[in-house]
Every structure is written in C-alpha cells, then in structure tokens.
Amino acid sequence: MITKEFDPTTAIYYPDEASCYAIAAIEKIRDNKQRGAVMPISGIDSYFAPLLPGQICAIIAQTSQYKSGFMRFWERELAKQLMAEKRKDVGIFHVSVEECVEEQVFQELAHEIDQDAGKIARGEIQDWNMMLNKAIHIGMIPVYRIGDSIARSEDMPYLTMSNMIRSIQKLTEGAAGNGPIKPAAIFFDYLQAFPFDTEIKRMGTGEQQRRLQVREDVFRLRQAASHFNCPVVIAVQAKQELTNKSEIKLPGIYDGEESSSIAQRMDRIITLWMPARTKMIGDTIEMYGKRIKVEENMLFVRVAKQRGGLPAGRIFPCRIDYVRNNIKHDPYIFGAVKENGEHGDF
C-alpha cells in the first residue's frame, strides 16, 4: 500500500482484458463464498448477501443508536463460525479508538454471564469464579484487538489510519513471536473518531481539512479490504440533522457526517435507528401504515445500499437484548401475526 508515481496505462482496460477480469472475479466470488461475512440476524441474512473479501460495508447511525453494539454482535457471531470450523490461522480484527480493550471485554463478559456491563465496570460481580472461567473462554475467541489499554497507559499508541494498517499488517505477518493470522474480516469503530493522520498531506484548514481526512480514510479502507483480501466493516457517525425530515429517523446513504465519499465508495450501507432515542417510550410512530408503540429495545435496520444489482431499501424491525448484546428480527412489530393469532414478542 505504498504510494507511487501514477502510470496512465494502469487505468486502461481493453475489451478482451475486461472480459477476462470479469470471469476471474466471478470465479473468485464463487470460491470465496464461504469466506463472506454473513449477516448474523435470521430474517435479514437472506436479503443482505454475504459481504465478500475486498468489499466494505458502512454502519451509519446517529449518536447512541447502537452502532458499536451492532458491530460487536456481528463480529462475535462471525468468530463463533470460525471456531466451529476450527480455523486456527484466521481471526476477526477489531480496531477501535473509541473504547479501550478492557471496556470491549467488559461487554463480552456481560454477554457470557448475563450481567450488565456497567456493573462489571464498577466491580459488582455476583459470581467471581464463573467470571474467571468465562474470561478464559473469551481468551480463546479469535477476536484480535487493535487499540489502547489501561494496562499500557504509559505507552498508548497514536492510532492514525497509517498506524492501524501497520498493526494489521504486523498481525498478518506474526507479532510478538506468534504465528501469522489471516483476517476473516476487519471491523473499525468508528470513522469520524480516527485522529488526524500526519503522514497524509492535505490542503485546507479546519472543517475542510477534516472532510478531506474522512474522504482519504474511506479510500484507504477500500485499499485495506483489497490488500488484506477480506471484508471490512466500518461504523460511521450520522449527521445530527438528517436529510430525512420525517419522524422515522433512519439515516440515508448521504447522511454520513463530513463526507459524501462514504455513500459513493461503500459496497454496502446499513443504517440504524432506535425510536426510544428520539421519541418517548410509549409514544406511537407510523411505518408501513401501521401505528407502532415505541419500546426501549426496538431497533430498525435498513439495508440502504447493495451493489451488484442486489435489492436494497428494505427496513427490518428488530429487538435488542442489551445484557447479552443479541439482536433478533421481530416482524411482529409491524403487525405480523403468529399462526395461533397471537402477536409475537422477543
């Protein structure tokens, strides 16, 4: 991924060349079907095609709308798949400048022992031995974390995009005496939190420079997906004022904060909305001609963009289990009825 002088001939493709490359790409897709990052939510997985190596997906939502939780759930389920397949040399890479490593593992422990992560962070443990056993189990889940730690507070890294890529590269080559690890997928949390990269020269100042930084980071994420031959998922902060002025606050593909390149360069885009964050619990909203009562654990997931002629635009009603960080599709929110005539619940 080293920048070099531009050769004009590298951007030219003759008809027979393009045809051969297309066949090679189809063969690659066929051979890599098992390497795709499958959407782990039953009911959405048949609509959202697996994210294949070299592809990039953005998860766009406003503040406190479960972006990080959605990513954690996706990467944990993908890691379980790797464990079931006994793929020792493959792992999930999680890059974060938002939460330290300890906070991330608090969330995983909460999932394992059915206890609120906030209580774990305060040291309120009901069964210490069980937590230690679960910590050993988490230590075997193939999620490799790139970020900072309280335990290394005197040596916290300055994680620019350039340094993130270096750390990922080191993992793939083998770090600290360990063997090389291939990324099954790389998850980044989150785009607008990435610090200014002093290694990239930019024009402009202030907001203009920040927009250029985000645009450049999106481009380099695409490079990373191709270079490491794996899917890339990136959390993206949505604007506080959405283009959508209705009461349904699902971001559009151009609602990613600070750069239109987010919409243009992503292969897939998922947008999230939790009604309880913009409405009062007990209020009603109207979707698809149905009046829906707002509940605390409701999450609406829209598949806003899929390239390659795949369908897009559908909204899926879901529910969140906060303690276990699980997400389930719940069509009964939209008024679907079970065979016995009762409405479904989570």
Where do the structural domains in the chain lie, given as residue ranges? 36-268
Torsion of CA 311, 307, 226, 185, to 10 degrees: -20
Q: Are 91 and 269 in contact (CB under 8 A)?
A: no
Q: 155: number of CA atoms within 13 Å, CB side?
A: 2
DSSP string, 108-173: HHHHHHT--HHHHHTT--S-HHHHHHHHHHHTTS-EEEES--GGGGGG-----HHHHHHHHHHHHH
CA angle 150, 324, 129 (to 5 degrees): 65
**Residuewise pLDDT in 10s, the chain (346 residues):** 444 577 777 777 877 788 887 887 777 666 655 567 899 999 999 999 889 899 999 999 998 999 999 999 999 999 988 898 888 889 999 998 888 888 888 888 877 877 777 777 787 777 788 888 888 888 888 999 988 887 776 667 778 888 899 999 999 998 777 889 999 999 998 888 888 887 776 555 666 777 788 888 888 899 999 999 999 999 999 888 888 778 888 998 888 876 677 888 899 999 999 999 989 999 998 887 888 999 999 999 999 999 877 889 999 999 999 888 899 999 988 875 444 444 443 3
CATH class belonging to 36-268? alpha beta
Cα–Cα distances (Å) from 301 to 70, 119, 276, in that order, read 10, 28, 14
